[in-house]
Structure 1
């Protein structure tokens, strides 16, 4: 009996260590998308990270994408309750090593003092996009970053975010909550949508989780990328949905 108990305890300890490792990985998944209406012949690369929460960005992660991305996008939940503002500042400084930083709000970001967070964004030159869009110039034309506020807290106003964009242009929709994709219509001209929020279920048992794993889906109205996210909520553990970030390259499709 003691041997059985010892084996079970050892197995449990090994599983917990593996779950801790899964939660603290610094994986950068690479994606390449081609679109007929992407402006210009030169490709554009962005670094996408969501759901940082309590985690400190690892320098090894930044080294993996340094000089490879044109800018960085934070897909919400940069922080949460009880995270020191100094840690958020350190994380933003690391992301700024990649390039310009763009941010949309997630539900947990509203657990902290939003005024103090906005002051920090201003200090660090972070581009906050709230139910609005921001136009980036490329060598061949323009790309619109369309950012909505958090949908899970009923703050998202997609029509407002789309009001300054041209459906015939190249548009990337940033929404922390991927369920907003149900509001997207094909005629909105959203080429790519980037989301997080779900953590991929975070802890999946026998392949089952509360949410789908991070994925890329080709939908009738857009292409959707949902990230497992970088940090965790509640427990600093993951199983079957490892921490991840994304290096996304977009270029024109050759016809």
Structure 2
């Protein structure tokens, strides 16, 4: 009887771990529309592919095929890698992402676990624009501006939202990319940031009965700012997930 009980428990544990491993390596593209009263009519719609926290994973060719030709910009929300990830794998991921469209990157905490110059070199090789407390502006024929801002990693005290805002200049529809969603605490109403894109939390990664160390990834609004915190694509520490599926995002921005 004891043997049967132990066998059942072990079988359940093995089955659960296998499920968690399979979930952690699954692929998902979430299609999300976000409308804003201040989105410029002259841009029509802007479509973003957002991915964060790749860590040790190799980006699926299925995802690349699914979103290629459907988005205007690709945004990497940090943690392209972590310690002991071969730079060749990182390069393959960057190459795949740049095949989707013009690509922009912000630093995450784990990106600094290797020599940053190595990652810099690969990003430069594939023409990826690094947003490190800087901004890039796109202008429509009517003179409206779409502004993409990015800040460096908060945990290493490298984040300077003030510099990114200064680089962005006045006006324009502003989208801020920050690996760590804690940037929310620094945003002021007068900054006129309409959307924040973040990752870092992995949605808690392993949630027991719905509870985890962080909130599940979600889109929410705080005042006039929409905030998307992604579950991310990869895992850290353990290659397992439970109750927090990996995700990437195709985000359509349009006028309300």
Superposition TM-score tier, normalisation by shorter sequence: over 0.9
Q: 1:160 aligns with which of 134, 158, 163?
A: 163
SS at structure 1 position matched to 2:119: helix
The answer to whether the Cα contact below 8 Å between 1:185 and 1:221 also exists between their aligned partners in 2 is no
Aligned partner of 2:85 in structure 1 is: 83
Q: 2:211 aligns with which of 208, 211, 222?
A: 208
In the TM superposition, what is the alpha-carbon distance from 1:185 to its structure 2 partner? 0.8
Query: What does 1:12-91 correspond to in 2, within 5 Å?
Result: 12-39=13-40, 40=42, 42-91=44-93
CA distance in 2, matches of 1:212, 1:240: 11
In the TM superposition, what is the alpha-carbon distance from 1:137 to its structure 2 partner? 3.5
The answer to whether the Cα contact below 8 Å between 1:216 and 1:223 also exists between their aligned partners in 2 is yes
CA distance in 2, matches of 1:41, 1:102: 19
> Which range moves more in the overlay, 38-47 or 84-93?
38-47
CA distance in 1, matches of 2:220, 2:47: 19
The answer to whether the Cα contact below 8 Å between 2:134 and 2:168 also exists between their aligned partners in 1 is no
> Which range moves more in the overlay, 50-59 or 134-143?
134-143
State the Cα deviation string for residues 72-125 of structure 1 (Å, max 9, x = none).
100000111111111111001111121011000000000111111111111110
Q: 1:186 aligns with which of 170, 186, 189?
A: 189
Structure 2: which 5+ residue stretches go unaligned?
none
* CA shift in 2, pair 1:138/1:51, >3 Å: farther
Query: What does 1:165-180 correspond to in 2, within 5 Å?
Result: 165-180=168-183
The answer to whether the Cα contact below 8 Å between 1:42 and 1:139 also exists between their aligned partners in 2 is no
CA distance in 2, matches of 1:138, 1:83: 40
Q: 1:124 aligns with which of 123, 126, 141?
A: 126
Structure 1: which 5+ residue stretches go unaligned?
none
CA distance in 1, matches of 2:6, 2:91: 46
Query: What does 1:215-234 correspond to in 2, within 5 Å?
Result: 215-234=218-237
Q: Say what the alpha-carbon RMSD is for the aligned residues.
A: 1.2
State the Cα deviation string for residues 159-213 of structure 1 (Å, max 9, x = none).
0110022453100000000011010011101000000001111111111111111
> Which range moves more in the overlay, 140-149 or 89-98?
140-149
Task: Provide the TM-score with structure 1 as the length reference.
Answer: 0.96
The answer to whether the Cα contact below 8 Å between 2:34 and 2:254 also exists between their aligned partners in 1 is yes
In the TM superposition, what is the alpha-carbon distance from 1:31 to its structure 2 partner? 0.8
CA distance in 2, matches of 1:139, 1:113: 41
